[in-house]
Structure 1
Amino acid sequence: MSIVSSQDYRDAMSCLGAAVNIVTTDGNAGRAGFTASAICSVTDDPPTLLVCMNRGSSAYASVTGNGVLCVNVLSGRHERLSRLFGGGIPVDERFAAAAWSTLETGASVLIDCAVSFDCSIVDVANVGTHDVLFCRVVALRRSDCTDNLIYFGRDYHVVRAGLT
């Protein structure tokens, strides 16, 4: 069996478009947030999604320590915010760039995003450099989402809903 190199794998993954999200947390372990595209639905009964998170992330200790997070699905107007939460910018500056509220868990909910999934982490699996966080959705907020911010081909794109 041949071994696929990390670079070949990353190059191939650039062909897989994915929604861009800002994952946030808040609580005793601190406020934090990061940009993520490795998120998907697991089941609707009970409502559960998964978030893949690098254990080397600056947000890792806060997310796992708090045990809660919010997945904020971004619209086209959020590209700049996504870049801020992509790393290297102090946490306070990241959050100062947008308007936030909370739902059930206390994690930050982006006021004008397409949808926010407020979650409690119910299970964790370790795989390579990442943890796969299984997150029970305890509350959500939807807007009139007409577009999503997508990451494809190592760049941002906006996908708009068809007009009916």
Structure 2
Amino acid sequence: MASSSQIAADPADVTSGFRGAMRRLASGVAIVVTRGDGALVGMAATSITSLTMDPPALLLCINQSAGIHPCLSSGCPITVNLLSRHQRDVSAAFGGAVPREKRFEVGRWENDGHGLPMLDGAQANLSCTIDSMMPFGTHSIVVARVEAVRLSESVEPLIYQDGAYL
């Protein structure tokens, strides 16, 4: 059995401990895309989960300091592209390694019904509309209704944990 450390109660220790705990949580990587001021905007995200099956909906947590955040609002269309293991370069590009105006040059993209890009070869592409947003701390909790889904034949997700890909 693994040993455990002392429980943190001091707020600074809880924050540090929480950060360490979340680094241990493995997550799939997705690219969230929308349009803002006439240009495409996208970001890499790991804080995405299913919310309900009826209606089909996702929950996304987006940092309010993220470049995409000002472009998001109720009624806004977005695509959520769940990355495949071979798409580390796309994740890196949308994670900040490539300037915003050049990010969509990485990977092959095609438009969904809203005219937003969907990444070819992703595990899944979800065309959504934002239903609601709620601020919480440094982030906004975004509820997005899923309107269309495209699935890949293979199941080989890109997984991120403790600052690295698995």
TM over 0.5: yes
Deviations 1:33-68 (A, max 9, x none): 000000000001110001110010112122338812
> Aligned match of 2:114 in 89, 95, 105?
105
Deviations 1:44-100 (A, max 9, x none): 111000111001011212233881211100011111110110025322311011111
Structure 2 residue ranges without an equivalent (≥5):
1-7
Structure possessing the higher radius of gyration over alpha carbons = 2
> Aligned match of 2:156 in 134, 147, 150?
147
> Aligned match of 1:72 in 81, 91, 109?
81
Mapped to 2, the partners of 1:51 and 1:104 lie a distance apart of 21
Instruction: Give the conservation status (yes or no) of the 8 Å contact 1:29–1:61.
Output: no
Structure 2 vs 1, CA of residues 62 and 30 (structure 1 numbering), >3 Å: closer, same or farther? farther
Mapped to 1, the partners of 2:19 and 2:126 lie a distance apart of 27
Residue 70 of structure 2 corresponds to 61
Deviation at residue 131 of structure 1 after TM alignment: 0.3
The 5 A counterparts of 1:30-49 are 30-49=39-58
Residue 136 of structure 1 corresponds to 145
Mapped to 2, the partners of 1:113 and 1:37 lie a distance apart of 15
Question: Do structure 1's residue 90 and structure 2's residue 99 form an aligned pair?
Answer: yes
- TM-score norm. by structure 1 comes to 0.88
CA RMSD between the two structures: 1.9
Residue 77 of structure 1 aligns to a residue whose secondary structure is coil
Structure 2 vs 1, CA of residues 65 and 45 (structure 1 numbering), >3 Å: closer, same or farther? closer
- TM-score norm. by structure 2 comes to 0.87
| Residue identity (%) | 31
Instruction: Give the conservation status (yes or no) of the 8 Å contact 1:26–1:66.
Output: no
Residue 146 of structure 2 aligns to a residue whose secondary structure is strand
Mapped to 1, the partners of 2:23 and 2:89 lie a distance apart of 20
Mapped to 2, the partners of 1:69 and 1:114 lie a distance apart of 17
Instruction: Give the conservation status (yes or no) of the 8 Å contact 1:118–1:138.
Output: yes
Deviations 1:18-45 (A, max 9, x none): 1011111126553100000000000011
Mapped to 2, the partners of 1:97 and 1:65 lie a distance apart of 29
Higher mean Cα deviation, 92-101 or 127-136?
Answer: 92-101
Q: How many residues were matched structurally? A: 157
Instruction: Give the conservation status (yes or no) of the 8 Å contact 1:70–1:119.
Output: yes
Mapped to 1, the partners of 2:72 and 2:18 lie a distance apart of 27
